[in-house]
A = this chain, B = another copy of it.
């Protein structure tokens, strides 16, 4: 029983590594099983199918990410502080987890329609978590009047826009500085 929990988690972790490294279709569940130190059949003891395993693993990552990123984010912060903090933590997380959450995740592509739809839903949740932040900022008078969803989508886009090269090439120096620069642009624009 104790064992059981451990196994499920080991599979999930192995799935993370392998899916990240190979992508969904190239990942073989045998390899995941091996890396997890369990038999191939055991994977099916815990997860109905490859797809289910993928989704489950994705949720785990998302949760871990969310938790990590939201640490110390308090309601007292200004919207700017909050977003700056989000950006920095995001960059830190990505930098620290290059192994487990590389380019293959993050955005859809190459997958069939069904799983793709599911992943889009996941993405939407992120947006939905961000929308109230923008709304509150607007209400408080910190932000311009604007479509909060547009803001959220732009922010998420910016994050990904900078994350991809960051992970692939490892550039961009200190997360705190990049976060600062990004925040500045997002809040005050690029115009001189």
Give the interface of A toward B (CB within 8 A): 21-26, 80, 103-113, 116, 120, 123-124, 127, 134, 137, 141-144, 146-147, 150-151, 153-162, 164-165, 168, 172, 178, 181-182, 185-192
Contacts and interface: CB of A to CB of B under 8 A. Distances in A.
B123 A103 contact: no
Contacts of A178: 150
Given A157-B158, A188-B189, 17 more contacts: A26-B111, A26-B112, A103-B108, A103-B116, A104-B110, A106-B109, A107-B109, A124-B165, A134-B190, A137-B190, A150-B172, A150-B182, A154-B161, A155-B161, A158-B158, A160-B160, A187-B191
A177 to B, nearest CB: 10
Contacts of A164: 107-108, 120, 123, 153
Contacts of A106: 107, 109
A24 B109 CA distance: 8
Contacts of A23: 109-113, 116
Given A116-B103, A158-B161, A185-B151, A190 B109 contact: no
B162 A161 contact: no
B116 A104 contact: yes
6 contacts: A80-B191, A105-B109, A142-B192, A154-B161, A185-B189, A188-B189
